[in-house]
Structure 1
């Protein structure tokens, strides 16, 4: 539906263009955009904007004390073009047609909107400086592309998943000859969410472990970071292969998950968002998939106030009723055990619903009395392995 609405808005904007102004003179600068009408819109806006800026440069005040006026027609065209640019950006955000406006031009746009009038011309402020005219540089750049700084190569992004705060994309890097993933915050996120996003990257960056997803570089301007690409999620993998996964593979996957969490615990970190979707898998030839724990947006450093501002209860597998009573900021190891037990039951049986489940380690790990839950990951691991072995023992004739 979002894509249809975006296309509809592009068509409506295209139809509203003054046909005598429509031009493809700068269309080549916008070839990264797959929608031809959007290319023409950007080409036309680009032409209108730089033509008006060129005329404005001729009318700039000669001294700081005198004033000069900008013609009515140019004022009207420039104001309309800038407003259309901002409206397009807002309407197309979080779609496959999302784009950025060049930082330099964006500042000038905002400055111009303060003095441009739709009639009788506009008084140019005395502090207005000469504007650089972009004839070979795009004013609008696709957010579905990424340019790597060391190679100056631009690559097309393909959406993998979308959450409430951000999107994850995949792209193939021609220089490194492999896939990478890019996580980008949505444009309407607030400063608090950005800080959490930044902390997520910083925490993952300092953990060097094969069971934790690796991150590489952070782009503050675009609110995004590049990370290791994983082939699938634990959820998708088990849903697709549950009937053919062997006993040894289930034990291997569960043990990897526990090993990854144990590394975090040794660093006094609680993940707080363990789920079927946040555990990723990287697939290789002739070995079992390798677990990659991801999504560190809700992490808590034990004995730290890092998460004091993030008290809203989140996490799809968490025990919500208990956390509502004690507060999400008081999430502890016993709460992580609860979510882990549910994940391990899914690994063992391929089932997400735990109602009436006949599983000793699940019952202990999710016991309403937290004093009865596992006190160590090793104890949980042993009982998980015993349960998996018992399943396959029953299957043996």
Structure 2
């Protein structure tokens, strides 16, 4: 059911249907769909006024009366558009250069007789070939029509992650939303990510809840921080000892072992994609996330892939579609090095830890651990004396 606010926004946007807009600007905003014409129209008209402003600043410093009125009206138009967007849980994001000029212009624009351009005016960097407007989510409407505030907590190449509090249970929930400019392949990959994670039910895998096809997003359990941030802040703390580090390492490995047991490969393991729920003291719960590049056994989607992707690629893999569990284990060596020593390179030397991580990431896949279960046994047997061995 369309809300009153959504209906108001539709009416606001409809007035641009008959407005003539240069196709050059239309092309910049095609991915936005409903907002394409309004953003293109405002962008085009702003460029006209900004170019004239630059010219007049160099020639007399007097911004003509009609141009002044045009820009005042555009500023009001942008304000009204943003109000309409906010009512449906979105917010207008303006390029920093354009925002600088619009905010500054409010101080000296007058509606009659022309406007004196201030001394020291910095010319506008007019942008004709890239979008200067975008949208940002500010609220989300729940199934019971309750609207709650969103806070952006992360942004990747293809999706943004937001946080909101479920008003019925008082618990934080994460919402992952695909970016609007994503292509069809990325849309398909995003759906697959949710479908794969929905099938995985395990304590050390992020749990997903509901997929929203209309806005291309899904909700999932909220985690407090990444492994990268958690270890980075605690690495030199005395309380962050060998026992704590080993518990984190084992939870991570239990999660990966389950993924492989279910016939999947993660293919993008990194210290950014391992999340943690943090409790009092040193208690944490590790959660593997970001399954956008995951490979399911027998999936047609991954069999045809050849382009290598991911944060840390196994040099032994020549085609992404040929990725196997042993190739995931290559990345594990780097993650274990970070958990136990706080370094992003492989731990060197002859210590028990060094031997484990070097075997994980051996250049020859046949010389690595062939299963995560083998690796778990090695970490379980690892002794705290390795902590004093230089990395």
The two structures have a TM-score, normalised by structure 2, of 0.65
Question: Take 1:165 and 1:91, find their aligned partners in 2: how far apart are those partners?
Answer: 19
Question: Take 2:166 and 2:313, find their aligned partners in 1: how far apart are those partners?
Answer: 37
Q: For structure 2, which runs of at least 5 residues remain unmatched after alignment?
A: 1-38, 50-67, 95-127
Question: Take 1:281 and 1:10, find their aligned partners in 2: how far apart are those partners?
Answer: 46
Matches within 5 A, 1:10-159: 12=46, 16=70, 19=73, 32=87, 91-93=132-134, 98=135, 143-150=137-144, 152-159=145-152
Question: Take 1:160 and 1:194, find their aligned partners in 2: how far apart are those partners?
Answer: 21
Given candidates 301, 308, 316, the residue that maps to 2:311 is 316
Question: What is the deviation of 1:175?
Answer: 2.4
SS at match of 2:363: coil
Question: What is the deviation of 1:287?
Answer: 5.7
The two structures have a TM-score, normalised by structure 1, of 0.65
SS at match of 1:371: helix
Question: Take 1:385 and 1:170, find their aligned partners in 2: how far apart are those partners?
Answer: 35
Match of 2:230?
Answer: 237
In 2, are the aligned partners of 1:361 and 1:387 still within 8 Å (CA)?
Answer: no
Question: What is the deviation of 1:361?
Answer: 0.6
Question: Take 1:173 and 1:330, find their aligned partners in 2: how far apart are those partners?
Answer: 41
Question: What is the deviation of 1:17?
Answer: 5.6
In 2, are the aligned partners of 1:182 and 1:227 still within 8 Å (CA)?
Answer: yes
Given candidates 187, 208, 211, the residue that maps to 1:215 is 208
Residue 252 of structure 1 pairs with residue 242 of structure 2: no
Match of 1:343?
Answer: 335
RMSD of the TM alignment (CA)? Answer: 3.4
Match of 2:320?
Answer: 328
SS at match of 1:218: strand
Question: Take 2:176 and 2:274, find their aligned partners in 1: how far apart are those partners?
Answer: 16
Residue 305 of structure 1 pairs with residue 305 of structure 2: no
Given candidates 253, 257, 261, the residue that maps to 1:262 is 257
From the superposition, tell whether residues 310 and 171 of structure 1 become closer, same or farther in structure 2 (CA, over 3 Å): farther
Match of 1:174?
Answer: 167
From the superposition, tell whether residues 260 and 368 of structure 1 become closer, same or farther in structure 2 (CA, over 3 Å): same
Q: For structure 1, which runs of at least 5 residues remain unmatched after alignment?
A: 1-5, 38-86, 100-142
Question: Take 1:240 and 1:336, find their aligned partners in 2: how far apart are those partners?
Answer: 26
From the superposition, tell whether residues 17 and 308 of structure 1 become closer, same or farther in structure 2 (CA, over 3 Å): farther
From the superposition, tell whether residues 194 and 373 of structure 1 become closer, same or farther in structure 2 (CA, over 3 Å): same
Question: Take 1:188 and 1:27, find their aligned partners in 2: how far apart are those partners?
Answer: 20
Match of 1:353?
Answer: 345
Matches within 5 A, 1:264-303: 264-286=259-281, 288-303=283-298
From the superposition, tell whether residues 233 and 10 of structure 1 become closer, same or farther in structure 2 (CA, over 3 Å): farther
From the superposition, tell whether residues 392 and 22 of structure 1 become closer, same or farther in structure 2 (CA, over 3 Å): closer
SS at match of 1:306: helix
For residues 206-228 of structure 1, give each alpha carbon's deviation from its aligned partner in whole angstroms, at most 9, with x where no partner exists: 21111100111111111111111
In 2, are the aligned partners of 1:310 and 1:329 still within 8 Å (CA)?
Answer: yes
Question: Take 1:196 and 1:187, find their aligned partners in 2: how far apart are those partners?
Answer: 14
Question: Take 2:312 and 2:204, find their aligned partners in 1: how far apart are those partners?
Answer: 20
SS at match of 2:303: coil
SS at match of 1:297: coil
From the superposition, tell whether residues 30 and 329 of structure 1 become closer, same or farther in structure 2 (CA, over 3 Å): closer
Question: What is the deviation of 1:356?
Answer: 4.5
How many residues get paired?
Answer: 289
For residues 200-251 of structure 1, give each alpha carbon's deviation from its aligned partner in whole angstroms, at most 9, with x where no partner exists: 0011112111110011111111111111100000010000001221111111
For residues 338-359 of structure 1, give each alpha carbon's deviation from its aligned partner in whole angstroms, at most 9, with x where no partner exists: 1112111211111102275651
Farther off after superposition, 306-315 or 223-232: 306-315
Question: What is the deviation of 1:309?
Answer: 3.8
